[in-house]
Structure 1
């Protein structure tokens, strides 16, 4: 069994494998080793002979705040360091190459993938996982928001398709285009969440494990895994193509310096508001 992870917690409880983001001081944002370690844990559980459920969750009050948006602004500021636009595009394609393997590891995962949203998800923390998960169990604190358009970005890692598959095109557009914040109750009403538990922290985590153990008592594990395989087989390639297209679109936005321009605009707006407040004193 893999061990020695720095930024995730990994354990197996009987037939349940648990991957837990473990950077709570930075709201489980995608820095450090969190992505390669998560990919490795998926690989381990994919081949584990006994597990049925793979649970992805987070430590602390957030599931994940996604990427550090300051990194996007910094990336856009590097435009002067490239010989030409072709070199710049390739640099960003390489920068985002992790997305293909992270999403593939979930799309092709043989076990039943349970997303246990212990708290809010923002940006990539909201977009990358709910559309791919087989079952979503959420705390009542688990709201979602994807402010991609406000930052000059695009719906990441195939989420434009995966959310449309779950909640319909118009609701997906409202969520992803306009950056609308969805409460846990709305996600349940829209059919994105399977269940919402009125618990947080360790109580929520125990509720999730207890619920899954109850399912294992009354349902055959292989049958549940076969259900997943039969459902996902016809849509697998479309989801992978959506990931590739999203990576390309995100790289193009970076080539255009769109995030940099959006950040500069927001910075100027804040500065103008500061000056206006100062003039009234």
Structure 2
């Protein structure tokens, strides 16, 4: 598949790699080709030493991602669907396992698999008109790309059950109040541009420290406090051995901004 025909576009904005779901005619739905493209481009960005953060967004201003491509699903057997659900784990899992922070810029609706894609990300920024929902139980299924597992970890069990069992749809401000998104962009401002400005501390930050902090949080999320503290100590030690830490000390002494090299 040529880059021009790919359902996902890759842009580089300085130290940030931007993945754009580019199927506006299908509300940026997740086809099989789109899943493979996310996996391929995600691996490329994770391996790129110049990239310090990954942003994923959708083309247009109506949909971040409306979920699975139901038109494509109509021609699938039950076993085909099982294979497709497996691709959510293998291909979107590239972003889930990324040592670099991943941020969703929700430029419109994020329904079903689209919200599950956003939940894989470390941070979420929503346009004021964005809407978020996991409507699967109203369609006779359940969220199958991690929604039943990740949503409770973000908003809590009770609110996750409310969203999933009632198929409840949240607007951007409700999602912010629930902690489902971290930020709502101002009216009239591109959510992608706002996101890139907001994450400048990551893009210009110390990549070794960023990765170590993410790993420490993720490793200790469901372990006893004592083990979590030991895991944190191990990750902290990684930063002590970095050139970036010495650069931070020099910059502080010289009263300037540090220039991190990820070394």
Under a length normalisation based on structure 2, what TM-score does the superposition of the two structures give?
Answer: 0.76
Query: In the alignment, does 2:93 pair up with 1:104?
Result: yes
How far apart, CA to CA, are the structure 2 residues paired with 1:74 and 1:104?
25
State the shift of 1:205 in Å.
1.8
Q: For residues 173 and 73 of structure 1, do their structure 2 counterparts lie closer, same or farther at Cα, with a shift above 3 Å needed?
A: farther
Tell me the residue number matched to 2:64: 63
SS of structure 2 residue aligned to 1:137: strand
Q: Is 1:156 equivalent to 2:181 in the alignment?
A: no
Task: Please give the per-residue CA displacement for 1:61-82, whole angstroms capped at 9, x wherever unaligned.
Answer: 210111133555665xx6xxxx
Q: What is the SS of the residue equivalent to 1:130?
A: helix
Q: Return structure 1 stretches of 4+ with deviation > 6 angstroms.
A: none
Q: Which residue of 1 aligns with 2:237?
A: none
Is the contact made by 1:52 and 1:222 (CA closer than 8 Å) also made in structure 2? Answer: no
Q: From 187, 205, 208, give the equivalent of 1:222.
A: 208
Q: Provide the residue aligned with 1:16 in structure 2.
A: 16
The answer for the alignment partner of 1:207 in structure 2 is: 194
Q: Give the 3-state SS of the residue equivalent to 1:140 in structure 2.
A: coil
Give the direction of change, closer, same or farther, for the CA distance of 1:5–1:91 in structure 2 (3 Å limit): closer
Note if 1:175 corresponds to 2:175.
no
Instruction: Spell out the pairing of 1:1-281 with structure 2 (5 A cutoff).
Output: 3=3, 6-31=6-31, 33-61=33-61, 62-70=63-71, 72=73, 75=76, 90-126=79-115, 128-199=116-187, 203-217=190-204, 219-234=205-220
Distance verdict in 2 for CA 1:91–1:72, change over 3 Å: closer
Partners of 1:6 and 1:71 in 2: CA distance: 16
What secondary structure, in the 3-state scheme, does the structure 1 residue paired with 2:151 have? helix
Shift of 1:180: 0.1
Residues 16 and 51 in structure 2, CA contact (< 8 A), matched pair in contact too:
yes
Q: In 2, Cα distance between the equivalents of 1:162 and 1:22?
A: 25
Per-residue Cα deviation, 1:146-165 (whole angstroms, up to 9, x for no partner) = 21111101122121111101
How far has the Cα of 1:24 moved from its partner? Answer: 0.7
Determine the C-alpha separation between the residues in 2 that align with 1:91 and 1:151: 18
Q: How many residues align?
A: 220
Greater RCO structure (CA 8 Å; 6+ sep): 1
Q: TM-score, normalised by structure 1?
A: 0.71
3 and 234 in structure 1: CA distance in 2 versus 1, 3 angstrom threshold: farther
Report the RMSD for the aligned CA atoms in angstroms: 2.3
Query: What are the superposed Cα offsets for residues 118-144 of structure 1, whole Å, 9 maximum, x if unpaired?
Result: 111112112x22322111111111111
- State the alpha-carbon separation in 2 of the partners of residues 30 and 91 from structure 1: 15
Q: Does the CA-based 8 Å contact 2:128-2:172 persist in structure 1?
A: yes
**1:276 aligned residue:** none
More helix by share: 1
SS at match of 1:57: strand
Q: Are the counterparts in 2 of residues 7 and 32 from structure 1 also a CA contact under 8 Å? A: no
Give 5+ residue unaligned stretches, structure 1.
79-87, 237-281
Shift of 1:5: 5.4
